[in-house]
Each structure stands twice: as C-alpha cells, then as structure tokens.
Structure 1
Amino acid sequence: MLLVNRPLLPAAERLLPYHKHIDSARFYSNYGPLNDLLQQRLATHFGRRGDQLALANSGTSALYALLLAAAGPARAEKPVCVCPAFTFAATAAAAELCGYTPFLADIDAETWALDHERVMALGDLERVGAVITVAPFGRPPLFEAWQDFTRTTGIPLIIDAAASFDVLGEAAADHGDLPIAVSLHATKTFSTAEGGLMFCDDPAVVKRAVAALNFGFNDAREALGPGLNGKLSEYHCALGLAELDGWPDKRLGFLQVAGYYEASAEIAGLSDRIYVGREHANPYALFRAQSEDQAQEIVAALRRERIESRLWWGRGLHHQQHFRDCTAEPLPVTDDLAPRLLGLPFAVDLAPEDVERVIRTIDRVVQCK
C-alpha cells in the first residue's frame, strides 16, 4: 500500500550521541540541557533570539499556550474565538481549552485561509476575544494583513502554522510580533516525533506561554494562571537535534519529491490542480478535483491501485460531531473546497515511479469526464 504519509525520522545511530548525553546528565524532562540546546540551535536557524521561541510537547499545546499568553483565558464579555471552519480539529480544540467558544468562519477561495477583511466585518466583533488564523498545508500566511488587523481591532491574533516549519523565513521575522505555533509531529517535514514550537518577538509572550505549559508556574513554582504539563522530554529533544543535523538534506528530499509531482502533473496536463511545496518544503501533495463526485471516483481508483488518499481536514469542522453546534457564518467556500481537496502520498523518499503511478491513476479518471 502506498501510504498518504510515511514519516522518516533519524535512525538509532544518529540518536545515540544525544541519548548518551541524557544518560550522563540524568536529566529527562523539565527543560533539560538538550531542550536548551535545541532551542538555541532553532533560534540560530530562524535568526531569532533564544527568548523569542520555545518548545512544547505538541503543536496543540503550543497553540493553547500562545493563545493564553497573547489573549488570556476567555472572559464573560469576550467569550468568542474566531477560527476557520476549514482546519484540523486541534485549532478549535485549543480555543476550547482556553475557555473560548469557537466561531467558525469561512475561508478565502484563493488562499484557503481566513480573510482579514471578512473577519473585520463580522457582527458582534466586540465579543471576540481572539482570532486564530491558519496557514493551510504550509501555505505562508498574509503576515502584514493580519498585523494590520490586530493593530486596528485590538483583538489578539495567533497564527496556527502547524505545517509551516520551512515557511517561517524573512516574512515571519519581519512581522514577528504575531505569535506563531508550529507542529513538530511525525507527519511534518521537521519533527521531534511529537512536539511543537512557539514564536513571538515579544519575550514576555513567550515567557507566559512557557509558564502555561508548566502548570502556570512562575520561577518560585507558584501557579499564577491556568496551565498544564506541555513540556518536551529530553528524548524528543534528542530526536529534534538529530533532525536538525540532517535538515538540509531532508529539506532537499522534500523539494525533490515536490518536483516529481510537478513534472508528472505537467505531462498529464494537471499542473493547475496539483499543489506541492515549490519553494518551501511541506509534507503535502494535494489534488483539487472538479467536484465532490470526481473526488470520490479518484479515491476509489487510487484504492484499487493500493494507493491511499485522504481528505486531510474532512469536510470542515462544522461536519464533525463535537463542533457541529458551534456558531458559524455561511460556509460556501469551505463546503465547496473541503470535499474535493485530496491529500496524495508524500514522503521524503517517495520514488518518482510511485509519483507517476499516482498521477497516472488520477489522470485516467479525469480523462473519462
């Protein structure tokens, strides 16, 4: 079976030096030396100071902590957090963990993300305590537009950039006052198997986020606010350090596979419907079918060839049982896009002949129409 996602993390021999360091230090969690080293190296990688980023034990924890740090828990007069309906469940779940009621907004047809002007025009904006905008499938967010939004409205904004490890370059640095949460899950390009990363130019925001992931403790181990245990273990940090050692080669591998998809799609005349990372490594290859019916035909054809595919975010949060009762605006773009945007197999070592087989199978369905 050709899987839709097949992670490849550092082998045991690359982890061994870091595991020996753990054995020697006898420090296994609670912000140990490998946690500090990984944060320092990531700060250098992104051109940030060490106090402008921090690690978490998951992308959801990172989002939760930054939401608490930037907006605080929900208040009676501001109980709402605006989220896109087209996102992974973790986005709205993080808002709920902070006490907010998610309001599900529609996305822009071109960016697949929230539109800042549309959010600005929502009714009852005075009841909105926070906005979470998503960088869908690693697509760079519109940093400047959202920076203008939060300055104009005073509403705290958090960017859920779960799949955007490789996107956070100069544009993010230029607008670094926007808190950004990244996932380091095994399915992402850069991974600690399970983990998260938090960015913000304001060290005070990062410090509050770190406290939220340590039971709300201050330096005196007194809980000053809400929190939970969201710390990253030294073993996960060891994996992250080994990943960083090999990151240039791994990044090149993802871009190479993206190139395979681009080349095969061009031959089949499907270039305008295949989405892969052209400049930024990301863990997705996506195909936009013409209709939901065509999408289902493609899924069936791929399955017959033992090729897995996936609607990564289902049909939208409003179709998931837990979020079905959330207040939402009309969602025509989400309802149109979500059921026809198929996730295709993608891995750092995916062979060109496998990519050709995927595209060939899709093309057979498309040509029948």
Structure 2
Amino acid sequence: MNPHAAIPLLTPLLPDQEALAPYLAQLDANRHYSNFGPLNTALEARLATLFTKHGSHSIHVTTTSSATLGLELTLSSLDLPPGSKVIVPALTFVASLTAIIRAGYTPVIADIDPQSWLITPEIATEAAIQTGARAVLAVAAFGQPQDTRQWSSFQRKSGIHVVIDAAGAFGSQWVEAPDIPVIYSMHATKSLAAGEGGLVVSGNSVINAHIRQLSNFGINLDSNAGFPVGHLSFVGSNAKLSEYHAAVAHASLDQWDAQARCRQGIYHAYRQALEEACGDRLQWQAGITLAAPTIFCLRMAAEARDRLEKICQQRQIATRRWYQPLLHQHAAKVAPIIKQPTPVAEAVASGLIGLPFSPFMTHEDINRIVNTVNLAVTTPH
C-alpha cells in the first residue's frame, strides 16, 4: 500500500472488450450505426421488461444521446407556453437548470426537505402558489428516489406537470406511476454506463413516441399522423443514441447485478467505518439503501468541511462540493430565473462534501479516508 498515492473522486467502470465483443459483432453484421438501429431497439425492449417487473403497468423506454437532452426533450414535449415557470430544487446538477432554459421555460428555484435533501410535492405546492408555475422538475438527488405515486397525485390535483430527473438513480428509482416520465443517465460514471446516453421511461406510449420523434429532429415517422412521413412536425434535436453506445449499454446491463452488489458492499463498509469513527458529527441523506451507489456524499459542520478539504488536498484525496454553487448562485448570464426562499438548501450545502467512491476502492483507501475525515471533524476549532 502506498499511503501517498492519489485517491480519485470517481473511477468509471465500463464493460471491457471481451464483454463488448458479441455486441460489436452484431453491429458489424447489421451495418446499422444510428437512427434507431436493432441494438438500440433491443436495448429499449430489455429495459422496458426490467422496469415493467417493478410496476403494475406496461413501461415504455426511449433512449437519447444523453440524459440532459432527454430532460430537455421531455420538458419540450409538455408544449407549455414560452417562458412558463418550471420549479426545480436548488440542490441539483446544473443540467436540470439548463434543460429548463433550453426548453424555453423559466426556472423557479425552490427549497429541499431537510432530511431527504429532495424537493417534495409539499414544497412544490407552495412554490407554485407563489409563482404560478406550470411544471415541476423533481430531482432524485444523489440517486435517492422520488415517490412517483405522490407526484402523480400532485399532478392530478394541481394540474401541474411533473417530470423526474433521476440521472443517477438507475436501479433505485422505479416508475410506479404511469403518468410521470422519468429520465436516467448512462454517462460513464453512472451504474448503467454506456459512456454517454440517456433513457426516458414512462407508462404512457404517447409520451415516449413524442420523445422519440423529437430526438430525430422532430421529423414525422408515423404514416398515420395525418401529414406526410419525413415532414418536420415539431422543433426537435438530434438526440438519438448510436448503436455503439447501445452495444456498451447492453454489455453494462449484462454485468449490472454483479456491479450493484460490489457498489453496495463498498458503500456499506465505507459508511459503517465513518459512522464508527465520527458518530453524530456526520449527517447522511435520509432514504432507502441505494441499489447501486455511484457517489458518496455527506454533511458536516462547515468549519470541519473546510479543514477536511485542506487535509485531503495535502494527502491527495479528491473531494467535491457536489451541486455547488446552488442553482441560483451561478453566473448572471444564466437567466432569467426566479428564486424562492431556500434556507434548507443553503444550510445543507454549507457542509456538504463528496468523498471518493468507485468499484475499485480498497479497504486501505477507505481506512485512509476515514482517518482523514475523523481528523477533520475532531480537531478543535
């Protein structure tokens, strides 16, 4: 063991050439490389079967070239008037914000729950009353799932559209409510990794057909649509998943169960060691045990976080202040936005820190990090 070796924040795990070989062979035989090819079609079917097993209704899956474009196209498909207000939590990755803006809407930055660190229907209700918002982009922050049934009830009662950004929540976030579209990422750092890619999942075939069309520039491919095939019917984008990325996703899906068990084991040992060493000096996001954790984030006193960052830099241990700055704290050019009071998000963010996590972490890595965190949280002011 080298006590001075750098510990990276994230190390992606994608299928190797042996795992990819049968799918690349299919790709070569098909000579179909994009535009809804056979590997992509088979991937959507595999995933639809998986999601359907976890729900009480049929599920439809549409791939996109990234989760960000999946979000943007799903929001666009709501067909709200330009400038319509869309609620989004302050604590999330910037893609949630940019997707709203690029869809032509105005973000309303809202607060989060103090235990789950998620936006809730109750928070969204208050923000909608204050701003007249027409939609909510609810986020499964840090992979912690949103309750689609609760959001479905909110949507029916309020008439406000709901879309869920579950970019990092594959395997933990299911689609129990058929009327709530959920978007996942297949970026290299996610548990179902294709290098890049996204999934739009819902129980409504009309939603998914619309997303599929928007991902192909908005060109009509339906001979029963009432106007000619090949005509532009909506303003879409080029957001199709390539057959190469579909091949990687297939191989990743083949290995997913084993990888999920690996990630769970590392996460459990890591968190247990930190809890034993640091006790109540650390705060954790409330919620379920994730099926396949991909990042490791916790909260501590702001002063302790500052000390930890300095010590980690000296010891070559990577850290990150996940999802900071908060959405409303970005550059003035990221506008217009509407900000609601966000005291909880600001309090949580003041001590939030991301520590290294990957399937390649060793017990020595974990012990080194735990000792460093313990030093930071127990050092007198």
Q: Is the 8 A contact 2:285 2:298 kept in 1?
A: yes
Q: Is the 8 A contact 1:39 1:50 kept in 2?
A: no
In terms of mean alpha carbon deviation, does 214-223 or 29-38 score higher? 214-223
1:75 and 2:75 aligned = no
Which of 109, 128, 149 is the equivalent residue of 2:133?
A: 128
Q: In the TM superposition, what is the alpha-carbon distance from 1:245 to its structure 2 partner? A: 1.2
Q: Is the 8 A contact 1:317 1:324 kept in 2?
A: no
SS of the counterpart of 2:253?
helix
CA distance in 2: counterparts of 1:18 and 1:315, whole angstroms: 41
Question: Which residue identity does 2:68 align to in structure 1?
Answer: T
In terms of mean alpha carbon deviation, does 114-123 or 207-216 score higher? 114-123
In the TM superposition, what are the counterparts of 1:67-216 in structure 2 within 5 Å?
67-69=75-77, 71-72=78-79, 74-76=80-82, 79-122=84-127, 127-169=132-174, 172=175, 174-216=176-218
CA distance in 1: counterparts of 2:128 and 2:230, whole angstroms: 42
**In percent, how many aligned pairs have the same letter?**
31
Match in the other structure for 2:230: 221
SS of the counterpart of 1:230?
coil
CA distance in 1: counterparts of 2:290 and 2:96, whole angstroms: 25
Q: Is the 8 A contact 1:40 1:50 kept in 2?
A: no
What does the per-residue CA deviation read over 1:279-312, in whole Å, with 9 as the maximum and x for residues that have no partner?
A: 4212011121122x22111111111111000012
Match in the other structure for 2:226: none
Q: In the TM superposition, what is the alpha-carbon distance from 1:47 to its structure 2 partner? A: 2.1
Q: Is the 8 A contact 1:4 1:345 kept in 2?
A: yes
Which of 301, 316, 321 is the equivalent residue of 2:326?
A: 316
Q: Which runs of 5+ in 1 are unaligned?
A: none
Q: In the TM superposition, what is the alpha-carbon distance from 1:155 to its structure 2 partner? A: 1.0
Which of 278, 281, 294 is the equivalent residue of 2:292?
A: 281
CA distance in 1: counterparts of 2:128 and 2:198, whole angstroms: 33
Match in the other structure for 2:375: 364
CA distance in 1: counterparts of 2:300 and 2:149, whole angstroms: 31
Residues 279 and 75 of structure 1: CA distance in aligned 2, closer, same or farther (over 3 Å): closer
Residues 150 and 275 of structure 1: CA distance in aligned 2, closer, same or farther (over 3 Å): closer
CA distance in 2: counterparts of 1:37 and 1:135, whole angstroms: 27
Q: Is the 8 A contact 1:136 1:161 kept in 2?
A: yes
Q: Which runs of 5+ in 2 are unaligned?
A: 1-5, 222-228
In terms of mean alpha carbon deviation, does 274-283 or 149-158 score higher? 274-283
In terms of mean alpha carbon deviation, does 30-39 or 12-21 score higher? 12-21
Q: In the TM superposition, what is the alpha-carbon distance from 1:52 to its structure 2 partner? A: 0.9
What does the per-residue CA deviation read over 1:148-182, in whole Å, with 9 as the maximum and x for residues that have no partner?
A: 2111111111000111101134xx3x313211011
Match in the other structure for 2:65: 57
Q: In the TM superposition, what is the alpha-carbon distance from 1:90 to its structure 2 partner? A: 0.5
Q: In the TM superposition, what is the alpha-carbon distance from 1:324 to its structure 2 partner? A: 6.5
Q: Is the 8 A contact 2:45 2:61 kept in 1?
A: no
CA distance in 2: counterparts of 1:125 and 1:221, whole angstroms: 43
Question: Which residue identity does 2:33 align to in structure 1?
Answer: Y
| TM-score (structure 1 length as normaliser) | 0.93
SS of the counterpart of 1:270?
helix
Q: In the TM superposition, what is the alpha-carbon distance from 1:226 to its structure 2 partner? A: 1.8
CA distance in 2: counterparts of 1:265 and 1:222, whole angstroms: 58
Q: Is the 8 A contact 1:259 1:278 kept in 2?
A: no
What is the count of residue pairs matched by the alignment? 362
RMSD value, Cα: 2.0
Q: Is the 8 A contact 2:51 2:59 kept in 1?
A: no
CA distance in 1: counterparts of 2:46 and 2:374, whole angstroms: 44
CA distance in 2: counterparts of 1:144 and 1:43, whole angstroms: 19
Q: Is the 8 A contact 1:22 1:28 kept in 2?
A: yes
Q: Is the 8 A contact 1:258 1:278 kept in 2?
A: no
Q: In the TM superposition, what is the alpha-carbon distance from 1:338 to its structure 2 partner? A: 1.6
CA distance in 2: counterparts of 1:229 and 1:139, whole angstroms: 30
Question: Which residue identity does 1:315 align to in structure 2?
Answer: P
CA distance in 2: counterparts of 1:105 and 1:168, whole angstroms: 22
Residues 364 and 127 of structure 1: CA distance in aligned 2, closer, same or farther (over 3 Å): same
Match in the other structure for 1:354: 365
Q: In the TM superposition, what is the alpha-carbon distance from 1:259 to its structure 2 partner? A: 1.5
Match in the other structure for 2:316: 306
CA distance in 2: counterparts of 1:56 and 1:123, whole angstroms: 30
CA distance in 1: counterparts of 2:21 and 2:139, whole angstroms: 36
Q: In the TM superposition, what is the alpha-carbon distance from 1:142 to its structure 2 partner? A: 2.5
